[in-house]
Structure formats: C-alpha cells, structure tokens
Structure 1
Amino acid sequence: MSDSKSSLKSRRPPTLDSDMAAAAQQLIQLSDEDTNSNCCRTSDGGQKIETKMIKNQSQDEITSAKIEEIFGKEGEIPRKKQRYRTIESIYKDTKRIKVSNDKNSWY
C-alpha cells in the first residue's frame, strides 16, 4: 500500500509541487494579513482598515487567478440523466417464477 503512495508521488511533475507550495504559501500569508487587519483599529475613522480591506481584496483576486492558472477553472461536471423504468415494463420483461411445489402458485 505504501509502495503505491510513493509511486504516485514520484509520478507528479515537480513543477506542480512547487506551484502548489507557492499557492499554499500565498494563502497562508493572506490568512495572516486578514487576522492582522481585524485587530488593528485606528482612531482616524477606520480609513486604515478600508485601505487594508481593499489590498486584501486585490490580493484575493490575484490568488484566485493564480489558483485558476495552476489548476484550471472549476466547472460543473454534467451528471448522467437517470432513467426510471415503469413497473409495467419490468413486469413485461421478467419471467414468472414458481414459488412452491404447488402447480397453481405462480407469481
């Protein structure tokens, strides 16, 4: 089992690993900035907070663009349409079976 895990890791291209690490590092930095901006309040009417929120928003957009660039856009995978059979069609397609040894007990 562990051999299959190690072989899967070795098959992954090294650029993908470094891109994933860079994206993860950027997400960590953004989460740190978010917690820091929530605790820093100023007495000048919150102007500093607005500026940080705008910077965070632009960073979020950059991060989202990078993630889409690396992994591709998320799209909905179309599901197969389920088909249901009517009871009538099921009865037509099935054969009768004998339940007991009695000749008249067919279902």
Structure 2
Amino acid sequence: MTVDQMKKAASMGAKMEIATLGALSGPQAHLAFMRNSKNISFKESADHIKQVGASHFIISTDLGQTANPSPPDGLAWLIAGLMSQGITKEQIQTMRRENLGKLLMG
C-alpha cells in the first residue's frame, strides 16, 4: 500500500499490520519460501508509522516456522529495529498493547 492508501484506510478505521516476517523476507532471506516476498525494512515500517500514526498499526511476528526465530525473539528483534529508526516506547505500546487489545476486546 502507498502511504496515501494507508491514510485512507486508517480514516475508515482500518488497522495495518507490521510483521517481523516482512523484515526477514526478500532475496536475502535464509528460507527459500521467503525470497519471493518483498523485504520491508525497519526504516520503511518506521516511516509508515510516523506518517500514518501508531494508532493505526499493530505489530506481530508471523513467525513459528522451522528455522526462523521464535515468535518472542522475532518480536524483540522487530521492536528493537523499529526503535532504532526513531519509534518510541510509547508508540510500541500503542501498537502492541492498546490497538491489539481493542481488536480483541471490541
């Protein structure tokens, strides 16, 4: 999605997902099935969060496959990567706790 498409979706109440698997995917991926997917860098994800707003995103792992990091390790890596690009602890909490909680609890 483009940033404009993300903003439009957000204005309609959508939540977009940033997953660890996106940062692991791409031509450099260590698993063959992930090499055909686009790599989404921490910088690209952080830019989306900054432009659209953390209140419109959730973060997850999409991990659990053999030979990939465990979901907890992958989530920690994703969070560290986003924070290295200027995403704050508060924004992480919004995406990981508040937004997910609202989706789960209604």
TM-score, with length taken from structure 2: 0.24
Greater gyration radius: 1
Instruction: Report which of the two has the higher share of strand.
Output: 2
Return the TM-score normalized by structure 1. Answer: 0.24
Could you say which structure has the higher helix fraction?
A: 1
